[in-house]
Amino acid sequence: MALITTKRTSSSKFQLRHKNASSSVGFLESQKLARQKGYEKKAKRYKLKLEALAVFTQQLSSMLEAGLPLVSSLEALQDQTEDQVFAVIIREVRTDVSQGNSFSAACRKYPNAFNNLFVSMVEAGEASGGLAEILGKGANYFESTNKLIKKVKSAMTYPVAVIGLAVILVNILLILVIPVFADMFADFGKELPGPTLFLINLSNWMQGNILWVIAGGFIFFQVWTRFTKTPKGKRFQDNLLFRLPVFGNLLKKITLSRFCRTYATLLRSGVPILRCLEIVSSSSGRTQIEGACKAISKAISEGGQVSETVASIQFFPPMMKHMTKAGEQTGNVDGMMNKIADFYDTEADAIIASLTSLIEPMLIVFLGVVVGGIVMAMFLPIFHLSSVAGG
């Protein structure tokens, strides 16, 4: 009887452990399913970074060149990607292709992940039968564009960080430190020096109006953001950026380089010229390029040449006119455009290198003038304590 009771107890414990294990597995499966559904919801609006798109394009091109079928290549890329949302996108694209849809049509369903340039190159590759080769050109374009963006960001990170730190430091001095000195100087018998008095008055104003300053800055940012989303505001912002000293020249060279390289890459891939201009216009992000592309498209539709329209647009330098004309005469427009892009990339690199070497001493001078000036102004009464305090 005792043996039977022991067996029943052991059996009950085993069933309980089995039930707990099953519950744990069920919980983990439900969590995994919930995460997967979350990835699927994000897929439609997911913005893929240019670096990730370049890697994907290069890997897909290499697999296709090796003779691997498109569906198998996409399956391999889906398994090896660490980005779970992008893996869902690749899975959906692979499913569409497996069902008989074109690769370009499947990619077009995810415009934030695959931009117009990528989709148009895929279309051209499907039409010509050279998808692997065209994807390789696209990968080179994405890589060169990503390198240029990284150079600009690395050159801008240091000055932006230092200027931001300087603004925070100045506000701390005005709101927290200067009032302490003001209380100390209140017992002096004579009028304080002009710079010291100015800083104390500014500090008093900042303490009483700091919330208004923050609210005003927030409102200005919101108004400016909405304004620059309008065509007129976007044009005003672009004109303002291109007129900036040094940085405006750098931005113009980068814009011209992207225009030429995008146009050349699409043209060499077999995309029709009007479609090339449409894609270049939408991907440029600059109103000057958008207007130029519309003018060139209109001229070509009326039987004109690209070089003639380029010569009439003030934004394009004379060199582009001559190089484009030479390309039309030799039948090598895309080659000439690539050479122009290389030239402006080299010039942009030179400007970035010179900025990197010059910006550090400029920032040191800036900090010395701003922060050092505040410190000197606050210690000025102490240096002249005998005359300020009446002897």
Say whether both 85 and 197 belong to one domain: no
Q: Which residue has the tokens 């390309």?
A: 327
Say whether both 85 and 171 belong to one domain: no
In a domain, 328, yes or no: yes
In a domain, 329, yes or no: yes
Say whether both 107 and 229 belong to one domain: no
Say whether both 167 and 235 belong to one domain: yes
Say whether both 249 and 175 belong to one domain: yes
- What average pLDDT does the chain have? 81
Say whether both 188 and 234 belong to one domain: yes
- How many distinct structural domains can be found in the chain? 2
Say whether both 103 and 158 belong to one domain: no
Query: Tell me: the pLDDT tens digits for 331-359?
Result: 888 888 888 888 888 888 888 888 777 77
Say whether both 212 and 87 belong to one domain: no
Q: CA 77, 78, 82 angle in degrees (round to 5)?
A: 95
Say whether both 85 and 168 belong to one domain: no
Per-residue pLDDT for the chain (391 aa), expressed as one digit of tens each?
A: 444 444 455 555 545 555 554 555 555 566 666 676 777 778 788 888 888 888 999 999 999 988 888 889 999 998 888 888 888 899 999 999 899 888 988 988 888 888 888 888 888 888 777 888 888 888 888 888 888 888 888 877 878 888 888 888 888 888 888 888 777 777 666 677 778 888 888 888 887 777 888 888 889 989 998 988 888 888 898 888 888 887 888 888 888 888 888 888 888 888 888 888 888 888 777 888 888 888 888 888 888 888 888 888 888 888 888 888 888 888 888 888 888 888 888 888 888 888 777 777 888 888 888 878 888 887 777 776 655 444 4
Residue range(s) defining the domain that contains residue 386:
147-269+318-391
Say whether both 234 and 333 belong to one domain: yes
Query: Tell me: the pLDDT tens digits for 60-102?
Result: 999 998 888 888 999 999 888 888 888 889 999 999 989 988 8
In a domain, 153, yes or no: yes
For residue 44, what is the DSSP state? T
Tell me which of 114, 129, 155 is where a domain ends.
114
DSSP character string of 108-169: HT-TTTS-HHHHHHHHHHHHHT-HHHHHHHHHHHHHHHHHHHHHHHHHHHHHHHHHHHHHHH
What H or E segment, with its residue span, contains residue 261?
Answer: helix 247-268
In a domain, 122, yes or no: no
Say whether both 94 and 155 belong to one domain: no
Contacts of residue 178, Cβ cutoff 8 Å, sequence gap at least 6: 199, 200, 203, 374, 378
